[in-house]
Amino acid sequence: MSALKTEKERGGGQSRSLVPRQWIERWRIYHPVEEHKLDSIADLLRTEDVILDLEVVSKTQLFEEIGQHMEGMHGMPQAWIVLSLSRREQVGSTGLGEGVAIPHARIKDLYRIQLAYVRLKSPLPFAAPDGKPVSDIFVLLVPKEATEAHLGILAEATRMFSNQRFRERLHLCKQPLEVKQLFTTWSLLE
């Protein structure tokens, strides 16, 4: 199933429409006990989107590989992914430091958040604040409308990757399923 909206879904008819933000806000006011829960990384990251020991020599090649993966697995046009991630990176580096980068972008016609974790075989310069090259790449692709979810996942990913024990355990994972399980149980490491 493609992660992109179809014409039918964008235009009307029997569509998979997103819940309007106004409705969610109104719902919160009338039902303050029952908060709208945003999806977590553990809910959104799929085992098939964990790529270990990828060999690339540049950010451009990395973004092309990510785009190729997203196109093959989720039907997202590679060119859109590469262009969106590259444009975001031109605004400022998404390198956090400690060998971690979180490239992220808004993608037109995407109807659900797509995540990927990529561990590079050899670290790559990424203009991180500490000057260290990056080997842990957490990719976040969001629909244009997903502002609150986008910021929530960025914050969660930043907390995760700021945790030294999490990063150490992540580097010990040999299989995608182990990585997925670590993302699911990371809060136990805090």
Domain around 100? 39-189
Residue 33 lies in a domain: no
d(CA 33, CA 39): 18
d(CA 142, CA 139): 10
Residue 151 lies in a domain: yes
Residue 23 lies in a domain: no
At 119, which CATH number? 3.40.930.10
Which of the residues 69, 74, 104, 150 is marked catalytic? 104
Q: Is 155 helix (H, G, I), strand (E, B) or coil?
A: helix
Residue 8 lies in a domain: no
Residue 62 lies in a domain: yes
Residue 12 lies in a domain: no
pTM of the entire structure? Answer: 0.79
User: pLDDT per position in the chain (190 positions), as tens?
Assistant: 556 555 445 455 444 434 344 433 433 443 333 334 457 898 999 999 999 999 999 999 999 999 999 999 999 999 999 999 999 999 999 999 999 999 999 888 888 899 999 999 999 999 999 999 999 999 999 988 767 778 889 899 999 999 999 999 999 999 999 999 999 998 765 5
| Number of structural domains the chain divides into | 1
Residue 22 lies in a domain: no
Residue 130 lies in a domain: yes
Q: Is 107 helix (H, G, I), strand (E, B) or coil?
A: strand
Question: Is 104 known to be catalytic?
Answer: yes
